[in-house]
A = this chain, B = another copy of it.
Amino acid sequence: MANPSWSRRHIISLADFQPEEYDTVLQTAASFQEVLSRRTKKVPALQGQVIANLFFEPSTRTRSSFELAAKRLSADTLNFAPGTSSLTKGETILDTAKTYLAMGTDIMVVRHREAGVPLAIANEMDRLQSRVGVFNAGDGQHEHPSQALLDLFTLCMLLNPEKPALSLLAGKKIAIVGDILHSRVARSNIWSLTASGAEVHLAGPPTLLPKLFADFVSSPDSSINGIDRKLFLHWSLQPALEAADFVMTLRLQRERMTQHLLPSLREYHQQFGLTHNRLKWCNPTVKVLHPGPVNRGVEISSELMDDPKFSLISQQVTSGVAVRMALLYLMGSGKLS
């Protein structure tokens, strides 16, 4: 049952993902997408296994997607509710994880507002020689791998629903717009999209762009983890959007205002909000993505968000279940090897 091209126990970051791993995820997700179109949308793949959703940072939307993916693989799910938990009684996060390990959890899906928590739990699970897989469902401003993989799946399925593959994106121009600096979604997407051979163009207000990538982007075609990556930075929207094939806009946290990183939502929308008018800069077949939840009229106009000719937002949510099924399945069958 183990997949020969899959050897990861944990999914923490896409930084070192290899092209064949992306392709395994895309093809496995495509087969689950097909399952989801049937009347009975379940497979017995993970029957009897336990998936614990340890959402230290609450999120109904992402938790529901993971929970549904787990249930459709026939796994049992446990939901950890931080508000009523032992954490308020002084237990450490690693002790909480060890408790779920001792109960017999097979996969832990971990979200936390601090970067590094899923990795710390994964390291502890390995140190204890357990076979538990840890799945990063978003850690601080670090990474959100399943979001980037569902974005990738959405794009590749659009280009070739018969055989989605990473290489389909080679040569495409993809813009990522908004608060890149604080976005784990952007960080994970930069790894996956640049791995495909696409040109990735980041655009946002200077206060919301990372210094981090400065050296990297000063010499495009840098090689990181064995892959040549094309990454560009822009302080305004137009150069990122010109001739773009896909535009991904990011959620803007309202707290950026109180942190004095932005003058106002209205001004942000005037400079970086996506509208039908601005899409005219792009390739005519352009499509728009957003990880949700959307602040309508801020990152994107309400009209554009609801226009099925351009918006892939619903497809992203649908892809989310198939991609998370694929990842849980690959982690779960990896356990058997």
Contacts and interface: CB of A to CB of B under 8 A. Distances in A.
Q: Which of A58, A90, A100, A318 has the most CB of B within 10 A?
A: A90
Given A68-B78, A293-B91, A85 B61 contact: yes
Contacts of A78: 64, 67-68
Contacts of A104: 36, 41, 68, 318, 321
Nearest to A58: B84
Contacts of A295: 90
Interface in A76-120: 76, 78, 80-81, 83-86, 89-92, 95-96, 98-104
A317 B128 CA distance: 15
Nearest to A86: B293
A292 B100 CA distance: 12
Given A95-B293, A293-B95, A294-B91, A60 B80 contact: yes
A275 interface: no
A47 interface: yes
A317 B41 contact: no
Nearest to A40: B48
B76 A317 contact: no
A64 B39 contact: no
Contacts of A103: 64-65, 68, 317-318, 320-321
A49 to B, nearest CB: 8
A83 B317 CA distance: 21
Contact of A293 (B52, B72, B76, B90): B90
Contacts of A163: none
A59 B100 CA distance: 14
Interface string A181-218: 00000000000000000000000000000000000000
A42 interface: yes
Interface residues of A, number: 57
A72 B76 CA distance: 8
A305 to B, nearest CB: 9
A93 to B, nearest CB: 11
A278 interface: no
Contacts of A72: 76
A26 interface: no
Contacts of A84: 58-60
A42 B36 contact: no
A314 B36 contact: no
A296 interface: yes
Interface in A308-334: 314-318, 320-321
A86 B292 contact: yes
12 contacts: A36-B104, A38-B48, A41-B48, A41-B50, A64-B80, A64-B103, A67-B78, A72-B76, A90-B293, A91-B294, A92-B296, A102-B317
The 9 A-B residue pairs whose C-beta atoms are closest, nearest first, are: A58-B84, A40-B48, A102-B317, A91-B293, A86-B293, A60-B85, A102-B314, A71-B76, A42-B48
